[in-house]
Structure 1
Amino acid sequence: MMEYKYYRELKHNYLVFEDKSKEGESRYQYKIAESGRIKGLVPLTERSINGDKFLYYEINSMQSLGDRFASSGMNAAQVRSLLTDIKDVLEGLSEFLLGEEGIVFNSRSIYTDLTSGACRFLYCPFYDEGKSFSEFAMELLELVDENDREATELVYRLCEQSAAFGDFIYEALEKTLAEEACEAEKNTYEEKQEESFTESFDMTDAEDVTDSFDDYEEEEGERRLKSSGKRLGGKLQLLFSLMFFCLVGAMVYIRMNYILSNEENMLSIFVMLVSVVTGVVALVGGFKELRGGVEAPGKGKKTRELGEDEMYSEEDISYGGEEDDFGYEEDYDFVKPARAESSFTKETALCGETVVLDEIRSEGIALFSRNLDKTVRIAFDKLPLTVGKMEGCVDKVLSDMSISRMHCRFVSDGGRVAVIDLGSTNGTYKNGLKLLPQQKTYIDEGDEIRLGRVCFDCR
């Protein structure tokens, strides 16, 4: 098992291995890896401290595959990019006559550059974890997005090929990518065939199919035009009735406030009678016209309720008594199903069991910020929980400038909550003490957790 530790120096994060190679062994591999000539390797420097040699891998702005895709699984494009990067770095090693056994294949030792999205690999010539590439392929199944069918199939294909080729990693990758490319070409060809079939379809046949609906559309348009005309006429009659009633009101006002002669008195009574009769007639006629524009279910008509799969819009339902296009002379009035009334009464609300709706429940402790304009709450009801400012890669987004893209992760361990710093730039603190990267530290109620400059109270 490879033993390593994380070390932070000013603004640089390092993954440190002790160089246990024997004296006299070839240093060629180290010199090539340290030179940076092979694209895709994590930058490496060799340091000597108190007579011991250490390998410092600079992992700034990088996250391991396990941390990067813990919240959101890998999609097909990301899996394809990972396999392509592995193939490229193996080609780079072969150019300098280096073998593939120096690459460490596990989700904790392969890093993703958060800036570019490219994968970087650790090259340790004399360290061997005893893991095969097929085991790494099986490990990818836990990181892939289960909802992405293409990504899942690609990883399964990689597992099959890695098991078939054994230690020949490059051949397994080449075969996997070739099969994936053939599958993509096949899908593209099928799509083109479907498009060409659609274009070659005789559109006159489609026009013949729609001819049977032309008459119906004309009749439907005439019916709607007629209905809209009736509604307009009804509104005008209601307006006239209002004017006549206003005239009656004006005549009553004149009779009450002015002294009229006999002729004026008779004329006013006549005008009032005529206005009342005309207003009533216009009012009744207006309501009839409006009701005629949108017919309601009448007597003697058959009614039936619509089923759940027969919900039509009101514009698509014909209420007229005319014969429809299908030759049925019977006229149906469609009545929408009545909404079920709740049996929850005031008495049961007062005496029965109280039900709390839309309650946000969280068991145990939570974090509450105290130096932000708006209080931010981090609940531990769903763990593990990754916190950072890179939306899409974390579970809780904190958009503060001091927060790293992937700052820390909260996990559950033995029923307790622990925090792990993910190599953040400004660090993670518990009660003022800075945590080491990747160090699991338990937190309890009453602790102060600081992420960058943002302080949280645990309660």
Structure 2
Amino acid sequence: MPGIAGDTAKELEFMYESDAVSSFLVIRCAGRIIEYQAGMVDNNEIDHVIPVETVRKEDANYFYYNITSQVPLSVYLKRNKLSREAFLRLILNIAACLNNAAGYLLYPSNFLMKQEFIYIDPATQDVMVVYIPAELRCEDVGTLQTLVSELLMQHINEEEFCNGNLVQRILAEVKSEAFSIRGLMALANELLYGQESRETAGLSPGPEICAKTLEENREKCKMEEKKEAEENPGTKKLSPAVAIAVLLQFVMGGAIYLCRGIIAGTGKDAAVNYAAVALIVLAIEVLIFRKLQSLKLFSIRTVGNAGPDVYGGPDALHDAGRPQMPGMLEHEKGRMQAVTEEDGDAARQRQTAPGFSQKTENLETRDTGGFVLINVNRQPGEKDIVIDRDEFIVGRLAGYVDHALHSNAVGKLHAVFVRRNGCCYVRDLNSLNGTYINGKRIESNKEILLRNNDTLRLANCEFIFSCAPGHKTDKPEKDKEAGTCMEEGLYGMTSRLAGQL
């Protein structure tokens, strides 16, 4: 049964469903569908708006949004605080999305302006928003003004927000009776880039200012990364492995030169003798390299656009392009396989990333908790994962998670472990390659109870869940909302397809 995220006076009902490779946000709407808007969102790739497919059943409209690999803003902000600059860019990007949508005849009031349903890329601060193409009588979809106010209140005690009059100016703008999206964009531009940018923004037409603003943000991020690379010239130094290889060539070459007389007089054919010596030298160099690497005098790693780590079992990952949207034919579904997320993202990961709070964490607020993930395929230097928070996030994006896994197949924020009432639960965060318990994939956005010695797999990283004595492994009565593993091959999709038929 789909997990229900909330409802608004029975007019809107939010649920989650999953199939073999994708996760979907499902919105049940009792209002009349706006056909041309549904077509606009479904058939056009509108920047930063999640495509939607509409299914009519049970006298209601169901809107399906593919949120595979998307990170909800609410989850992101539980672990990270935005810097002043990152906060302004986020507000600017959300406002620019709404402003640009006017060119497609979409209503700003129909965007879902709640942190739970706004999705963010932690590395770039780009956002994806949800649009409901239907006549809505309720205001619980949220407004841009309310969203900005809530975000501001969450960061008001941060050091960068206490300086200047940023808080006062933004609150005055969103609470003004003459509030407009373009006015908010102009203010954010001014606070980011100065008065001149606000004047320029005020003269720009609506659709152009959106594209220009987003492009300026991306260019500024690239310039900052380039500047950081220039300030750290040590990264361009010659690799120890290359230096050792060159030195070995000189040593071996000198040895062969000194023994040239002996080599030439060993047999009738000098060329064969030299070839045999070259092979022996090559074998010796390989052995030396392996010995030095085992002593950890240097390491050899692939960075940048490195290929994905491949799981060697029966559930091996294959590249098959774009994740499938609902409503596709069965034979098309058979061709869809899990793919690794955005190769090369690992190269952009940093322990201290743009927008990550610099506030020192108080270790007294953390405890061992008694729950441990034992790494089955442990590599040198890797440790078991101790779940020492009530909400413990695991993923590959270092600096934004509590424990980073070094695999491109793992999602940026892959899963969260929740400690409650002496039990431990896991919830998949819309990951592409999924979370498996004892070989069965679990639904996204649904808490699943973990039991002692359960086998847990996050994409291609396998663990054994260990529970210390004294902790519960059975679902408490008060936690009836927690689910169990999915048994079917198509998770939650069967009922939807049956409804369509």
Of 398-407 and 109-118, deviating more is: 109-118
Structure of higher CA gyration radius: 1
Determine if the alignment matches structure 1 residue 14 to structure 2 residue 24. yes
2:499 alignment counterpart: none
| 1:334-382 CA-partner distances (Å, limit 9, x unpaired) | xxxxxxxxxxxxxxxxxxxxxxxxxx96233222222323563222222
CA distance in 1, matches of 2:367, 2:45: 54
Q: What secondary structure sits across from 2:115 in the alignment?
A: coil
| 1:47-98 CA-partner distances (Å, limit 9, x unpaired) | 3468764222122332111123332222233222222222322222322443
1:244-323 map, 5 Å: none
1:364 alignment counterpart: 370
How many angstroms does 1:107 deviate by?
0.8
Q: What secondary structure sits across from 2:39 in the alignment?
A: helix
1:401-440 map, 5 Å: 401-440=408-447
1:139 alignment counterpart: 150
How many aligned residue pairs are there? 284
Q: What secondary structure sits across from 1:3 in the alignment?
A: strand
CA distance in 2, matches of 1:382, 1:102: 36
Q: What secondary structure sits across from 2:175 in the alignment?
A: helix
Q: What secondary structure sits across from 2:16 in the alignment?
A: strand
1:55 alignment counterpart: 63
Contact 2:371–2:465 (CA under 8 A) maintained in structure 1: no
Distance 1:405 1:176, change over 3 A: closer
| 1:296-332 CA-partner distances (Å, limit 9, x unpaired) | xxxxxxxxxxxxxxxxxxxxxxxxxxxxxxxxxxxxx
Determine if the alignment matches structure 1 residue 71 to structure 2 residue 71. no
1:442 alignment counterpart: 449
1:24-423 map, 5 Å: 26-36=34-44, 38-48=46-56, 53-113=61-121, 117-125=125-133, 126-127=135-136, 128-129=139-140, 131-141=142-152, 144=155, 147=158, 149-150=160-161, 154=166, 157-165=169-177, 168-179=180-191, 181-182=193-194, 362-373=368-379, 376-423=383-430
Distance 1:430 1:60, change over 3 A: closer
Contact 1:44–1:56 (CA under 8 A) maintained in structure 2: yes
Q: What secondary structure sits across from 1:108 in the alignment?
A: helix
Distance 1:151 1:32, change over 3 A: farther
Q: 2:28 is matched by which residue type in structure 1?
A: E
Distance 1:151 1:101, change over 3 A: farther
Distance 1:176 1:405, change over 3 A: closer
Contact 2:418–2:425 (CA under 8 A) maintained in structure 1: yes
What percentage of aligned pairs have identical amino acids?
A: 20
How many angstroms does 1:155 deviate by?
5.7
RMSD: 3.4
Distance 1:429 1:45, change over 3 A: same
Contact 1:61–1:113 (CA under 8 A) maintained in structure 2: no
Distance 1:110 1:398, change over 3 A: same
| 1:268-314 CA-partner distances (Å, limit 9, x unpaired) | xxxxxxxxxxxxxxxxxxxxxxxxxxxxxxxxxxxxxxxxxxxxxxx
CA distance in 1, matches of 2:181, 2:372: 46
Bigger relative contact order (CA 8 A; separation at least 6): 2
5+ residue gaps, structure 1: 186-359
Q: 1:160 is matched by which residue type in structure 2?
A: A
Contact 2:156–2:167 (CA under 8 A) maintained in structure 1: no
Contact 2:42–2:51 (CA under 8 A) maintained in structure 1: yes
Contact 2:389–2:419 (CA under 8 A) maintained in structure 1: no
CA distance in 1, matches of 2:451, 2:196: 52
Contact 1:389–1:404 (CA under 8 A) maintained in structure 2: yes
Contact 2:414–2:430 (CA under 8 A) maintained in structure 1: yes
How many angstroms does 1:407 deviate by?
0.7
Q: 1:366 is matched by which residue type in structure 2?
A: V
Contact 2:456–2:463 (CA under 8 A) maintained in structure 1: yes
CA distance in 1, matches of 2:463, 2:404: 15
CA distance in 2, matches of 1:35, 1:171: 30
Q: 1:3 is matched by which residue type in structure 2?
A: E
Q: What secondary structure sits across from 2:394 in the alignment?
A: strand
CA distance in 1, matches of 2:69, 2:123: 7
Of 143-152 and 28-37, deviating more is: 143-152
Q: What secondary structure sits across from 1:70 in the alignment?
A: helix
CA distance in 1, matches of 2:406, 2:413: 11
Q: 2:373 is matched by which residue type in structure 1?
A: L
2:300 alignment counterpart: none
Q: What secondary structure sits across from 2:150 in the alignment?
A: helix
| 1:388-407 CA-partner distances (Å, limit 9, x unpaired) | 11112211011134422211
How many angstroms does 1:148 deviate by?
5.2
| 1:393-436 CA-partner distances (Å, limit 9, x unpaired) | 21101113442221101223345332211011222233444221
CA distance in 2, matches of 1:146, 1:415: 32
Q: What secondary structure sits across from 1:429 in the alignment?
A: strand
CA distance in 1, matches of 2:168, 2:71: 24
